[in-house]
């Protein structure tokens, strides 16, 4: 096996293990649907069912694959189970002390002139913009919301979320939930890129050019490169895409780089 074959095999098993975890407790047809959508969207980088079906490369007529995906999405009722399973999966990666953003209204200092951290804030009592105390910690925490906005943009741009071709509300919700979880998968890989081989292999496979300082920055948004790398590897397979035995998803299943 050449290097790409080894990386492709490892990636497919990692995705299969991830899909098995997030669809635990669902019936077999629903588990297969989740796996097909994750693999198909990851390879096609599109939410259009025909593109997903082409990426899956099943050994049946393309129209039958499209019809099956559309039919299963319309009757999918496991959205809450997917959400709960994914929440449990990412829980170990969350900080023990979550950040809460607060309203700065109570920090109004209308007569302040020169003290540190003076800024314009909205007084909740008078509904006016007045001088007030702006905590640097709060300001930095508030800037984290832009990472949330970047994730929304990433989902729309990278996977063409707004280009879906399903019409039933149930199908739209199911497709949106699965694609959102795929975004979460890329985020988990991005967070692990300093410690494990697979994320670094995906960044390399994406063939994106990063300035040295950006590549070393922990604040850099690497999910575009991770998603491009996933697509680049998955498109190299000639077999039906989702036909892969899963392995336990998580850091223990990857080659650790910490300590080297």
Q: Does the pLDDT of residue 83 top 50, yes or no?
A: yes
The Cα–Cα gap between 177 and 172 comes to 9
pLDDT of residue 46: 92
Q: Which residues pair with 166 in a beta bridge?
A: none
pLDDT of residue 235: 85
Q: Report the mean per-residue pLDDT for the chain.
A: 78
Q: Does the pLDDT of residue 91 top 70, yes or no?
A: yes
Please tell me which residue, 84 or 110, carries the higher pLDDT value: 84
Q: Over range 69-96, report the average pLDDT.
A: 88
166-224 tens-digit pLDDT: 878 888 899 999 999 999 899 888 887 777 888 888 888 888 876 555 555 545 678 88
* CB-CB contact of 19 with 246 (8 Å): yes
Flag the least confident range among 12-21, 134-143, 161-170: 134-143
pLDDT of residue 31: 93
Q: Which residues pair with 256 in a beta bridge?
A: 196
Which residues are within 8 A (CB) of 149 and not within 5 positions of it... i.e. 6 or more apart? none
The Cα–Cα gap between 120 and 104 comes to 10
The Cα–Cα gap between 218 and 195 comes to 12
pLDDT of residue 188: 87
What percent of the chain lies above the pLDDT cut of 90?
30
The Cα–Cα gap between 122 and 230 comes to 45
Q: pLDDT class for 112, splitting at 50, 70, 90?
A: low
Please tell me which residue, 256 or 126, carries the higher pLDDT value: 126
The per-type count for the chain, helices as H runs and strands as E runs, is 11, 2
Phi, psi of 129 (to 5 degrees): -90, 120
Q: Does the pLDDT of residue 252 top 50, yes or no?
A: no
The Cα–Cα gap between 16 and 160 comes to 23
Phi, psi of 48 (to 5 degrees): -75, 125
Flag the least confident range among 29-33, 80-84, 195-199: 195-199
**Domain positions in the chain:** 3-96+145-253, 104-140
Alpha carbon 210 to its chain centroid, in Å, reads 21
Q: What DSSP state is assigned to residue 120?
A: E
pLDDT of residue 42: 92
pLDDT of residue 141: 62
Q: Over range 15-36, report the average pLDDT.
A: 92
* CB-CB contact of 195 with 256 (8 Å): yes
pLDDT of residue 260: 31
235-249 tens-digit pLDDT: 887 767 666 655 555
Phi, psi of 122 (to 5 degrees): -95, 120
Q: pLDDT class for 43, splitting at 50, 70, 90?
A: very high
* CB-CB contact of 161 with 155 (8 Å): yes
pLDDT of residue 75: 92
Q: Which residues pair with 122 in a beta bridge?
A: 129
Cβ burial of 33 (10 Å; 0-12, 13-18, 19+) is buried
Q: Does the pLDDT of residue 38 top 90, yes or no?
A: yes
Q: Does the pLDDT of residue 115 top 60, yes or no?
A: no
Q: pLDDT class for 150, splitting at 50, 70, 90?
A: confident
């Amino acid at each position: 096996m050449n290097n790409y074959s080894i990386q492709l095999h490892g990636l497919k098993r990692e995705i299969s293990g991830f899909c098995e975890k997030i669809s635990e407790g669902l019936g077999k047809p629903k588990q297969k649907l989740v796996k097909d959508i994750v693999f198909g969207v990851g390879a096609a980088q599109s939410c259009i069912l025909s593109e997903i079906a082409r990426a899956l490369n099943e050994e049946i007529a393309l129209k039958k694959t499209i019809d099956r995906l559309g039919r299963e999405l319309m009757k999918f009722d496991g959205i809450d189970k997917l959400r709960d399973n994914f929440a449990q999966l990412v829980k170990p990666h969350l900080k023990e002390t979550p950040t809460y953003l607060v309203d700065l209204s109570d920090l109004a200092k209308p007569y302040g002139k020169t003290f540190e951290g003076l800024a314009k804030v909205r007084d909740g009592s008078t509904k006016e913009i007045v001088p007030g105390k702006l905590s640097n910690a709060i300001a930095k925490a508030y800037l984290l919301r832009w990472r949330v906005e970047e994730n929304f943009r990433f989902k729309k741009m990278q996977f063409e979320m707004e280009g879906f071709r399903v019409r039933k509300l149930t199908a739209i919700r199911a497709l949106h939930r699965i694609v959102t979880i795929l975004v979460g998968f890329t985020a988990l890989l991005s967070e692990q890129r300093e410690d494990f081989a697979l994320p670094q292999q995906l960044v390399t496979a994406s063939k994106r050019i990063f300035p040295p300082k950006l590549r070393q920055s922990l604040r850099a948004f690497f999910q575009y490169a991770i998603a491009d790398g996933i697509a680049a590897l998955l498109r190299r397979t000639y077999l039906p895409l989702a036909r892969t035995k899963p392995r336990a998803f998580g850091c223990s299943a990857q080659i650790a780089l910490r300590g080297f």
